[in-house]
Amino acid sequence: MTSPPLARLKELAFFRDLDDDTTAEIARRGLWFSLAGGWELFRQEARSRTLFIVLSGRLIVVRAGEAGEEVVGYVRAGEPVGEMSLLADEPHSASVYALRDTEILALARADFDALLDARADFARALARSVLLRARRPQSSFRRAAPRVFAFVASSPSIDVEARARAVARALERYALKACWLGEERADEAYRGFEAMESGHDVVILAARIADTSWYKFVLRHADRFLVLARRDARPARPFPLSPDESSPARKFRLVDLVMIHEGLVASSPSEWAEAIEANRIFHWRGPDTVHRLARIIGGKSVGLVLSGGGARAYAHIGAVKALRERGVPIDFVSGASMGAIIAACVAMGWGEEETDARIRDAFVRSNPLGDHVLPVVALTRGARVDERLEKHFGDAMIEDLEIPFFCISSDLTKGEAHVHRRGLLRAALRASVALPGILPPVVTDGALLVDGAVVNNFPADMMAAAHRGITIGIDVAQEATIRVEDFRDPPGFLAWVWRNGFSNPPPIVSLLMRAASARQERARALQPADITVAPDVPGVELRDWKKYDVAVADGYRAAAQKLEACWAHLAPIVDAAKEA
């Protein structure tokens, strides 16, 4: 193919600091070609012979290892790929595929070497790219954020154009330049899609599933798909969401499910999510949904993370109250251990009064860990916790929740975090609060699940991977969570019971609870939230279930102070959200 125009190259990041002669030389020597969405550019362990520079579109970098294939990063327009292997004269360390139709400029090794020798600005640009990737290996996930979104109607009765238009308008409220195109503007898209993409922060393509040129165009040009599905319909299998279902890149495409609650119920969100291999599930329930989708698409969403901390986690309730009073939207919510239970209250859509009543009933009025037994696998039967989770969360499914939710438990068989994104909510919560030695572990599908705090008590890193906006973390386990004096010359068991009765848990409970999360203290610096609130919760220990009001008040106070200090970051989002 002929060389790309020089003016077009100069618009791309890699070429901006190159002089015109160097850019012209690269264009003359390079081969300009198009790689169809889903096709392989090169394979891991293959010999490196070419430098590739992305002119338009999007590539995904995948590395195969003992644990399977892992997404290493993304490559967008204006970025090179394959340069490290070429410079080191080593095989490629990962495979690269086109996630969508992608235009590429290729430089063969001989041309690459000639440019390195003759053009110092080319060598500098390449060195800068290598250093940036080496120093910030995860930055490509942020830089290569999706820009082109496909709204795919799974049924002819879904007004996908109206919904795309509504979200595009909402995006403008968040100071983002957005446009949407339906099939009636297909010719305009065919002629000038590249200019349309470069001129907007977000482009939404609206389409219905059909054997049409427009639908095929949408499949080949979208970075991320939002499949709109009605509850009164069932998904097709296989679901037609790729121009080439045999493509090895198919498994890495980004797909979200948007359930529309119309008509009689004929299917479940889990059925649809399985059929389309959805990463996330949303529910369309009016204007609030429009703004939530706009924030998520535009990178303006707010994710809330609640740490574990036993009774100290009551402080989360006060923190959530402070967020709601200031109008901060919560688009995603997650937690570990007791923080997972408060996060579930938020995801259920419960207000302040309902959350207060339910938590008091489940945890404050009587000790949830009071059904002691002679220990074999735990100090308690766990029946009280089971009964209270069932009473308050019933048969709610995670995929049906109003706000997208996940929680963390720890898989002792694999020594890693187990993320609960679907299934019975109370079962996920029971695993997340199964403190080793205190509550019996949960055995499921060959896994032995215990409290999430063992592996990740503050899953801000997982929340950051789930969305591109601001992550707010409430961490109640940073300060004093255990009383040292309880372990200085402790009394025997009978003496403890004589002084405190059977209703109060002995210090061994605090010891086990603290031991479960203590190893996470050193890891926090590697996974910070954008805004972290750390309530002191003075005088409240992990097992002080009666000190509800003190903890809630301190959580509110700490969150209100932090919000005031960080309001400049949140104000634009809050102001736009108020217009929903």
Tell me which residues are annotated as active site. Answer: 337, 451
- DSSP lists the bridge partners of residue 151 as 206, 226
The kind and range of the H/E element at 135 are helix 120-135
**Identity of the amino acid at 286:** G
Residues with Cβ within 8 Å of residue 316, at least 6 apart in sequence: 306, 335, 339, 342, 343, 474, 476, 555
- Residue 128's Cβ-side half-sphere holds a number of Cα atoms within 13 Å equal to 13
- DSSP lists the bridge partners of residue 40 as 97
Which residue has 């809330």 as its token pair?
304
Closest CA to 205 of 287, 278, 297, 296: 297
CA distance 156 to 142: 35
* Phi, psi angles (nearest 5°) of residue 79: -115, 145
Which residue has 């294939």 as its token pair?
69
CB 207 within 8 A of CB 180: no
> What does 502-544 look like in DSSP terms, one character per residue?
TTSPPHHHHHHHHHHHHTTGGGGGGS--SEEE----TT--TT-
Q: E strands, 425-504, where?
A: 442-444, 447-451, 470-474
* Phi, psi angles (nearest 5°) of residue 475: -115, 110
State the burial class of residue 297 (Cβ atoms within 10 Å of its Cβ: 0-12, 13-18, 19+).
Answer: buried
> What does 422-439 look like in DSSP terms, one character per residue?
SSBHHHHHHHHT--TBTS
Report the largest interatomic distance among the alpha carbons of the chain, rounded to a whole angstrom.
90
Which residue has 């198919």 as its token pair?
250
Structure-block tokens of residue 337: 């251990």
CB 377 within 8 A of CB 413: no
CB 317 within 8 A of CB 359: yes
CA distance 70 to 488: 49
238 upstream amide cis, omega within 30 of 0: yes
Closest CA to 204 of 275, 258, 143, 270: 258
58-65/95-98 β-pairing: antiparallel
3-state secondary structure of 209: coil
Task: Count Cβ atoms below 10 Å from residue 391 Cβ, excluding itself.
Answer: 12
3-state secondary structure of 69: strand
Which residue has 């735990």 as its token pair?
378
